[in-house]
């Protein structure tokens, strides 16, 4: 069922492409009602329109807060054109049907990015706009509603195809997009108010996002997938390489989570299947990469490298020696791009504009949402306590904290072994902590040359429930261990460490990652 468009109401903040619409409406002799800045812009461009206040015979009041909230407008939008009672009531009140609603909202989200002034933000909460859109979207059987300049070209094509009318299928699609638009708009405002009231888990929760792209597939080819962002774009940009997959994004964010915790402009992270397989914070960029790679060069094959610094020519040449899926840098110089872009499939990601981590993590299962705050706690000395008789030097303590920081980004149960602020063995994702110890040790023995003078440090993401884990680590060269406290056997663990002459540091916080 097509619907002839005779009268339209236009009230927009985003006036881009408006001339395109006005040309088309003029062609099909559509009468336009408009208000405020939109009315001025339409007249400025040389087109005719009737001001809302003139149409409703009611002035705008309350500094423009009330201008489109009038029954003449809503009756025109919401009336059923084939309903005799509706037609009679419109005629009785001298109201006309309104067939087209073109509205976008006050820029609340954009204003939120540039100011924290509550008064300015409140005044950018649109009331009339969403109400007009919801009315038009509800009555899609008769009314066409546009909420974005991106819809204009398709609207014009549909209008021309139907000789001044729009098709029912098209109006249904626009209705869906309209309610998505109002829901998104309200969710941004509700999140602002939740944060303002420090209410992180409100009774009703809405989550908003803009589609960045539909991905080729999810974790496996039979799964569908897409990536959304709270902004219109991601804070990372792809400079080269084939399209990113679901797994690529998952690995990229896992790598960036670690990189952001490393010293500024320092450190290399290598990730495979969302788990780190090598991390180093050597100030020498080449050595940092080589040390991270040496932790587990087999797992690194086909992995993701995240550099917490700008990528240059020298390190780009090192990257070219093995197969990598993705390279992340805080920018790339021209020489490095020339080298790396020769591999057409290699994805290059610039993370130089990446902001802070999200304050919330979201997981969905069986139509339920699990929300939690992000584990991005900044480590301070107050969070740790040396419980062994032997005390660590400052260098050893710094290495213990490095190992513990890496460990919190490894899937549980997690064990990380380090030497001189570089990982030498990582055991991850095991139901048994002891098994994770054995895997980390096996990796270390397989890929590292350990001398008697090396100080090997072990980190665990949660406490050792029994002494067997610590015993296994010490028997294989570990001389300093950091772990969370909280076991009923903490005292037994401390005595055991003292008996073996091992440095033992307790953390007050646990860092499971599932």
pLDDT profile of the chain (514 residues), mean per 10? 85 89 91 90 90 85 81 89 88 91 92 90 91 95 95 94 93 96 94 90 88 91 92 87 93 93 93 94 94 95 95 95 96 95 95 80 83 79 89 93 92 93 93 92 92 91 88 92 90 91 91 82
Scanning the structure block, which residue is given the tokens 């190992």?
403
For the domain 236-350, what is the CATH code? 3.40.140.20
Per-residue exposure over 96-121, b if at least 16 CB sit within 10 Å of its own CB, e if not: bbbbbbbbbbbebbeebeeeeeeeeb
Task: Using a cut of 0.75, tell me whether the model's pTM lies above it.
Answer: yes
Scanning the structure block, which residue is given the tokens 């690995």?
251
The CA distance from 165 to 180, in Å, is 24
**Residue 486's pLDDT is what?**
85
Residue 505, beta-bridge partner list:
386, 482
The CA distance from 32 to 20, in Å, is 14
Please say if 138 is a catalytic residue. yes
On the question of a common fold for 236-350 and 381-507, the answer reads yes
The CA distance from 234 to 238, in Å, is 10
- Residues written for the chain: 514
Residue 165 host element (H or E)? strand 165-166
- Does the 3-196 domain belong in CATH 3.40.50.1380? yes
The CA distance from 301 to 493, in Å, is 38
Q: Are 34 and 201 within 8 A, CB to CB? A: no
Please say if 243 is a catalytic residue. no
**Residue 438's pLDDT is what?**
94
86, 87, 138, 310: which one is catalytic? Answer: 138
The CA distance from 468 to 304, in Å, is 34
Q: What is the per-residue pLDDT across 256-274, written as a single tens digit (0 to 9) for each?
A: 999 999 998 999 999 999 9
The CA distance from 139 to 132, in Å, is 11
Q: What is the per-residue pLDDT across 175-185, written as a single tens digit (0 to 9) for each?
A: 999 999 999 99
Tell me the domain boundaries of the chain.
3-196, 236-350, 381-507
Phi, psi angles (nearest 5°) of residue 354: -65, 130
**Residue 2's pLDDT is what?**
67
The CA distance from 243 to 226, in Å, is 12
Helix axis angle, 467-475 to 433-447, nearest 10°: 10
273, 310, 341, 445: which one is catalytic? Answer: 273
Selecting from 3.40.50.1110, 3.20.20.70, 3.40.140.20, 3.40.50.300, what CATH number does the domain 381-507 have? Answer: 3.40.140.20
Strand order in the sheet with 326-329: 237-240, 347-350, 326-329, 304-307, 268-272, 275-280, 422-427, 415-419, 456-460, 478-484, 503-507, 384-386
């Amino acid at each position: 069922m097509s619907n002839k468009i005779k009268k339209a109401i236009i009230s927009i903040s985003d006036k881009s492409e408006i001339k395109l619409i006005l040309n088309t409406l003029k062609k099909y002799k559509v009468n336009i009602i408009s208000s405020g800045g939109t009315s001025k812009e339409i007249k400025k461009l040389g087109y005719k329109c009737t001001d809302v206040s003139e149409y409703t015979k009611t002035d705008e009041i309350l500094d423009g807060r009330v201008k489109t909230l009038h029954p003449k407008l809503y009756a025109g939008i919401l009336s059923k054109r084939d309903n005799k009672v509706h037609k009679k009531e419109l005629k009785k009140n001298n109201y006309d049907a309104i067939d087209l609603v073109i509205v976008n909202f006050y820029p609340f989200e954009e204003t939120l990015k540039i100011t924290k002034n509550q008064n300015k933000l409140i005044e950018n909460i649109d009331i009339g706009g969403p109400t007009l859109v919801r009315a038009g979207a509800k009555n899609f059987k008769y009314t066409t509603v546009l909420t974005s300049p991106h819809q204009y070209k398709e609207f014009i094509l549909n209008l021309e195809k139907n000789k001044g009318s729009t098709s029912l299928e098209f109006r249904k699609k626009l209705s869906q997009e309209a309610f998505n638009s109002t829901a998104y708009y309200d969710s941004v405002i509700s999140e602002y108010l939740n944060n303002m009231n420090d209410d992180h888990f409100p009774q009703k929760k809405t989550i908003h996002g803009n589609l960045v792209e539909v991905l080729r597939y999810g974790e496996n080819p039979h799964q569908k997938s897409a990536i959304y962002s709270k902004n219109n774009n991601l804070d990372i940009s792809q400079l080269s390489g084939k399209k990113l997959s679901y797994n690529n994004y998952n690995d990229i964010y896992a790598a960036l989570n670690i990189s952001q915790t490393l010293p500024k402009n320092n450190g290399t992270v290598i990730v495979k299947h969302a788990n780190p397989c090598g991390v180093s914070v050597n100030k020498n960029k080449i050595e940092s990469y080589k040390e991270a790679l040496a932790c587990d060069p087999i797992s690194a094959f086909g992995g993701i490298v995240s550099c917490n610094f700008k990528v240059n020519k020298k390190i780009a040449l090192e990257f070219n020696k093995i197969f990598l899926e993705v390279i992340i840098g805080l920018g790339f110089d021209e020489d490095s791009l020339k080298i790396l872009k020769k591999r057409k499939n290699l994805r290059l990601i610039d993370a130089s504009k990446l902001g802070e981590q999200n304050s919330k993590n979201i997981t969905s299962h069986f139509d339920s949402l699990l929300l939690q705050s992000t584990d991005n706690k900044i480590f301070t000395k107050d969070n740790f306590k040396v419980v062994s008789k032997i005390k660590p030097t400052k260098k050893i303590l710094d290495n213990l904290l490095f190992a513990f920081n890496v460990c919190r980004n490894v899937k549980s149960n997690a064990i990380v072994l380090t030497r001189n602020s570089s990982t030498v063995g990582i055991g991850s994702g095991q139901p048994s902590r002891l098994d994770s110890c054995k895997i980390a040790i096996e990796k270390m023995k397989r890929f590292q040359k350990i001398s008697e003078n090396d100080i090997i440090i072990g980190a665990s993401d949660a406490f050792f429930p029994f002494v067997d884990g610590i015993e296994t680590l010490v028997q294989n060269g570990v001389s300093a261990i950091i772990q969370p406290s909280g076991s009923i056997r903490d005292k037994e663990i401390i005595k055991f460490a003292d008996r073996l002459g091992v440095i033992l540091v307790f953390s007050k916080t646990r860092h499971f990652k599932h």
